Each structure stands twice: as structure tokens, then as C-alpha cells.
Chains A and B, each alone.
Chain A
Amino acid sequence: MAVDMNMNVLIVDDYKTMLRIIRNLLRQLNFVNIDDATDGSIALQKLRQGSFGLVISDWNMEPMTGIQLLREVRADEKLRPIPFIMVTAESKSENVIAAKEAGVSNYIVKPFNAETLKSKLVSVLGDF
């Protein structure tokens, strides 16, 4: 099935610079509807109010971290099916295992490049 490039994508990071970087890279990959949030609780609010096809989230944020957001998403019947990619500088095996156990769809370690972002998007959403 073709990927809907008009889907709403939510990017979550407490660094505004990183939000801007991911937004620009997604735009270059032809995604057009990109929204953002600066922590997990704001993201969760937006997810519950809107209709999103993908979440790309940082881990280390306050007050709600990326892993807490992921757990909330997976515990919510309506939000559960949304693909969730973690983009983080936390690269310890324990982190990756914890994210996997919480139901992460894929995991990108910072710093990353556009090629890595695209390959992870393809693995989660299908070819585009």
C-alpha cells in the first residue's frame, strides 16, 4: 500500500533546533503535514485531539519523557496502532530494549542523517 504523504506527522523534541531539522528533512522527503510538540504531555494532548499517522519522538524530555509517551500511546486503544519512532542520543542497549518492550516501531540514534531517517521511515511505513 502506498504511503500517504499527506498523513499528519507529529515530531516531539524539547530542542527547537532539532524540531526544525526533522521538520525540514521530512519536508525534503515530501511529507507535508508536520506538527510538533516540546514534551510528551503536549504530544499526548495533540495525539488525542487529532489524527496522526506517525510519531517521531525524542526520549530525554521533561516533564513527560519519550518512553512515557510511548507507553501512554500503546496503552490507548485509539492511539495504539500509530507507528512510533524514537530519535534519541540515548544509545545504551538497556534503552533500546526498554523502548522495544514498550512497543517502539523503530529507533534512531542521534546524530543521524537523512538516509537513516528515510530508511527507518520506509521500514515502518513501507516504501515511498
Chain B
Amino acid sequence: MASGDVDAELGAKLRELRENPEEMIRMGEVAGVVESLMATLKGDLSSADLKIYTELESLAKYIEAAKKEIVALRPDEVRDEYLPTATDELDAIVEATAEATNTIMDAAEAVESVMKHLEGEDVDVLGEATTKIYEACGFQDITGQRITKVIKALKYIEEKVDALVDAFGAEIENIKKDQPQEEVQKDAKLSDEDLLSGPQQKEKAKNQEEIDALLASFD
């Protein structure tokens, strides 16, 4: 290299990175090292130096473009909004299926209690039917276990996205500033798409009485 040895500050940074191979290196740090390396190339450049300089320059541009693309994906939104929503929805599925299964079993047990007062073929038919109901209710256990596995996978993804958000914290904040959230105007008309949000979480959902009251308020 034309400048001889790597400068002291850059050398210290490289040593620090080498000594902590387990730690995640921020994209900004990588870009900083590349830029510092490029800055050390001064004076008369040989053709080999020039080649290295060109390679480093293209590497810096590549890193910068990758950074912009990753930040534009808004991993903070994935972590703060989409992943918690997905987990809540899955929890709601488990809760709703458990509730439905218990109601079905309540009904089957009620049938069984009436069977004591019956005689003949009817008892066998009802007995077989209730057995089939109990067997079928086993679906709740299996779906519950499968959903638990999916929730674990989502938690793993959350950890990875969390690390990504941590690495790109400053850049994400800059993008947020450049793209202020759209303010929803109170009297703005909702589109058909806005009205399609699927079933509400139990605690947020309006019950039938509240819906009736709301409808009645228009009268």
C-alpha cells in the first residue's frame, strides 16, 4: 500500500473485531472499516493498490445498498407489529378451540346422563355416538401442540429480527423520520380493505349487546 502500515486507529479497530469473533458486527462498523481502509490509500498508487482500492470501493457501495434494502424492509415493524399479532392470533385459536371442545363435551356428557333412563338399542346407539364425540375432541390437543410449535418458531424469528433491529437501529430511526406515519383523520372514510381485519381478539371485540346498542344509536 502506498501509505505503508495501516494507521493506528484502524489497526486498533481491526484488532477489536478479531478478538470478539462471537459478537455481531454492526453494518455501520463494517462500512466504517472499509472507509478507513480506503482512506489509508494515498500518495502514489501502484496498479495493485488501485485494484484493491476499486474492489474496496465497490464493496463499500455494496454494503451501503444492502443496508438501505434491509432497513427499507422495516424489521422494527416485523418485530413490533406483525410477529406479536401472529402470536396473539394463534393463542386465540387455541383458546377458542378449547372453549368449543369443552362445550361439545358438556353436551355429550348431558346425553350420557339421560342415557341412564333409557333402555334397549337406543342406549347402545347413543353410547357409540358419545364415544365418537370424545374421540373426535382429541383434535384440540393435537392442534394445540402444533400451534405451540409454530409459536416457538415465531419466537426464534423474533430473536433474529430483534438482533437485526439492534444492528440497524440508527438507520431505521432515520427512515422513520423520513417516512412519518400517516395520520388517520377522524372523519376519513375507511376503504373496503380497511374494513377487513378478521375476527377481533376477545378482549377487544364488541359483544352482541354492544353491537345492538350501536345499531340502536342510529334510530
Contact = CB atoms under 8 A, between A and B. Distances in A.
Contacts of B138: 18, 21, 110-112
Interface in B126-146: 127, 130-131, 134-135, 137-142, 144-145
Contacts of A110: 138, 141-142
10 contacts: A15-B144, A17-B101, A20-B105, A21-B138, A25-B131, A28-B127, A110-B138, A111-B142, A114-B131, A114-B135
A111 B144 CA distance: 12
B102 interface: yes
A32 interface: no
A24 B141 contact: no
How many residues of B sit at the interface, in one of the four size bands? 20 to 34
Nearest to A112: B138
Contact of B131 (A13, A17, A18, A28): A28
B17 interface: no
Given A28-B130, A113-B135, A114-B131, A18 B105 contact: no
Nearest to B109: A24
Nearest to A117: B135
A17 B137 contact: yes
Given A111-B138, A112-B138, A21 B105 contact: yes
Interface string B148-188: 00000000000000000000000000000000000000000
A60 interface: yes
Interface residues of A, number: 17
Contacts of B137: 17, 20-21
Nearest to B100: A17
Interface string A5-37: 000000001011110110011001000000000
Contacts of A20: 102, 105, 137
B134 A114 contact: yes
B135 A17 contact: no
A87 to B, nearest CB: 10
A89 B140 contact: no
Given A21-B135, A24-B109, A25-B131, 11 more contacts: A17-B137, A17-B141, A18-B140, A20-B105, A20-B137, A24-B105, A25-B134, A28-B127, A89-B145, A111-B138, A114-B135
Contacts of A17: 98, 101-102, 105, 137, 140-141
Contacts of B109: 24
B134 A21 contact: yes
Given A15-B140, A15-B144, A17-B140, A111 B98 contact: no
Contacts of A25: 131, 134-135
Contacts of B112: 24
Interface string A35-77: 0000000000000000000000000100000000000000000
A113 B145 CA distance: 18
